């Protein structure tokens, strides 16, 4: 059972909504009956894998050589401009509008729910997916719908502070990854942080500090619920493995965690800023201290020989491609480690990028331990995702703008030809019209364009 391929119980079939409350939009020619979620090829022979690697390496060599030759004739400013084009951003914005319009269903109480895909496969409001949509495309979602979505999720918060992983259209809050009745252990370690980010992005877009004041207590309880070590890092007890960051929720990372700790650092800083703006500097200082603890202690996950952070301190102590790229993207204080991460990503481009999309681990590695069986080279155990493409491009843009441009070009070309899937590999494509695969790169490209203009 792969991530979020869970049966969705409920007495009614949710009604699909339009992009606005006043008008129903067509489904852009798609079959209104959901098609199978994926066409999956589980077997991978050694010969096919080697052939794919050779073909991709040759392609990357020739394309990169051409890009580098052209870049060598330009000034640094011209090389930077070449990374992101207005046409790229315009295409992603149009595709994001289409996908956001096609993913909305109506909850029983009338709340518009922005589900993860336009196929009706993950038919619920998922905290982290919605947070990514609002973070990267808030201007494409009516503010009132964002507000209602936040309240819909917070209505499902448990007394102990746990934020739902998802809330179904019938109002049922589900806290752990896995199918109903068969959870993958305790709740994932990221939903508290994503809820804070959701509220912070809503307030940043609307200036509605009164909304923050009304939910601040719930956010504090959520952050207190997240399991943390004595050093302030988010952690999972090796004796009780469960889902970590949701885009690896089938992977049994244990000990102190990279990605969830980065999210906790980010959420703590944003919560501190909100409290200070709301006139509660003392509470803001508490969360600044939590962020500072992570800044001091994340080094425990650093591998000096490799020059990268590891995903976890116990099980799955392996190179976390997404986590390292996100550390750069989020502005975590890395010092000289930043250059080493960028150097690794550039030097291992062909091992982590395919069709402009990103593997969790460098090829041919797979995770050392999973919570459920996940075939190698599929899903979270070796497939390539658009979710993280913008973070990689952002990390590469300063030192290797040629590779950043190559990645963006490959990603958009693939989306235009085949569509935006949840994840892909050679002979494998899972769930078309996956919204985060579009909005996350859009947010990164917009940011890169603004920083270039500045």
Q: Residues, the chain, total?
A: 454
Residue-wise pLDDT for 83-119, tens only, equals 999 999 999 999 999 999 999 999 999 999 999 999 9
**What pLDDT does residue 17 have?**
52
**What value does the mean pLDDT of the chain take?**
87
Structure tokens at 56: 């991709």
**Beta-sheet strand order (sheet of 15-16):** 15-16, 104-106, 112-114
Helix (H) or strand (E) holding 55: helix 46-72
Contacts 24+ apart (CB under 8 A), 331-340: 332/262, 332/265, 332/295, 332/298, 333/295, 337/302, 337/307, 339/399, 340/307, 340/308
Is 216 in contact with 156 (CB distance < 8 Å)? Answer: no
Burial 390-408, CB ≥16 within 10 A → b, else e: bbbbbbbbbebbbbbbbbb
Strand, coil or helix: 10 = coil
Structure tokens at 91: 């295409």
Whole-model pTM?
0.86
- Residues 6 or more apart whose Cβ sits within 8 Å of residue 58: none
Domains of the chain: 15-20+50-453 (1.50.10.10)
Q: In 3D, which of 245, 258, 143, 127 has the Cα closest to residue 197?
A: 127
Quote the CA–CA distance of 215 and 212 in Å, as a whole number: 5
**What pLDDT does residue 82 have?**
65
Cis? peptide before 382, omega within 30° of 0? no
Instruction: Pick the more confident residue, 198 or 77.
Output: 198
Structure tokens at 133: 């949509």
Residue-wise pLDDT for 119-139, tens only, equals 989 999 999 999 999 999 999
**What pLDDT does residue 24 have?**
28
User: Is the confidence at residue 63, as pLDDT, over 90?
Assistant: no
Quote the CA–CA distance of 262 and 77 in Å, as a whole number: 31
**What pLDDT does residue 228 have?**
98
Percent of all residues in the chain with a pLDDT value above 70, rounded to a whole number: 81
**What pLDDT does residue 234 have?**
98
Residue-wise pLDDT for 218-245, tens only, equals 999 999 999 999 999 999 999 999 999 9
Average pLDDT for 206-223: 98
Average pLDDT for 444-449: 96
């Amino acid at each position: 059972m792969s991530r979020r391929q869970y049966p969705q119980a409920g007495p009614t079939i949710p009604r699909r909504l339009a992009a606005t409350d006043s008008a129903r939009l067509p489904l852009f020619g798609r079959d209104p009956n959901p098609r199978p979620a994926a066409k999956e090829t589980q077997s991978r022979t050694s010969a096919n894998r080697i052939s794919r690697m050779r073909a991709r390496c040759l392609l990357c060599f020739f394309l990169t050589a051409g890009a580098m030759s052209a870049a060598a004739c330009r000034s640094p400013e011209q090389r930077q401009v070449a990374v992101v084009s207005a046409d790229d951003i315009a295409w992603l914005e149009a595709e994001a509008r289409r996908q956001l319009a096609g993913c909305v269903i109506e909850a029983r109480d009338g709340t518009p729910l922005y589900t993860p895909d336009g196929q009706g496969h993950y038919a619920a409001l998922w905290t982290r997916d919605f947070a990514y949509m609002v973070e990267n495309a808030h201007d494409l979602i009516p503010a009132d719908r964002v507000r209602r979505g936040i309240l819909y999720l917070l209505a499902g918060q448990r007394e102990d502070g746990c934020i739902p992983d998802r809330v179904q259209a019938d109002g049922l809050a589900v806290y752990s990854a896995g199918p109903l009745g068969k959870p993958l252990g305790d709740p994932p370690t990221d939903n508290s942080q994503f809820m804070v980010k959701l509220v912070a992005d809503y307030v940043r877009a609307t200036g509605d500090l009164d909304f923050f004041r009304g939910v601040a207590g719930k956010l504090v309880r959520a952050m207190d619920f997240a399991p943390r070590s004595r050093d302030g890092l988010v952690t999972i007890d090796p004796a009780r493995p469960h889902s970590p960051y949701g885009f690896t929720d089938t992977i049994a990372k244990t000990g102190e965690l990279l990605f969830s700790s980065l999210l906790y650092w980010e959420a703590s800083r944003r919560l501190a800023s909100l409290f200070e703006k709301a006139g509660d500097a003392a509470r803001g200082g508490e969360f600044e201290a939590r962020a500072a603890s992570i800044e001091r202690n994340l080094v425990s996950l650093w591998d000096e020989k490799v020059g990268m952070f590891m995903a976890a301190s116990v099980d799955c102590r392996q190179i976390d491609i997404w986590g390292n790229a996100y550390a750069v993207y989020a502005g975590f204080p890395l010092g000289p480690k930043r250059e080493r991460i960028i150097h690794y990503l550039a030097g291992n481009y062909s091992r982590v990028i395919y069709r402009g999309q990103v593997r969790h681990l460098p090829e041919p590695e797979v995770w050392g331990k999973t919570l459920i069986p996940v075939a190698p080279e599929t899903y979270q155990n070796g497939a390539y995702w658009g979710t993280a493409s913008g973070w990689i491009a952002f990390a590469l843009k300063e030192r290797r703008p040629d590779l950043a441009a190559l990645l963006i070009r490959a990603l958009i070309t693939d989306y235009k030809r085949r569509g935006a899937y949840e994840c892909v590999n050679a002979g494998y494509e899972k769930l078309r019209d996956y919204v985060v695969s579009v909005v996350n790169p859009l947010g990164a490209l917009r940011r890169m364009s603004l920083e270039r203009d500045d």
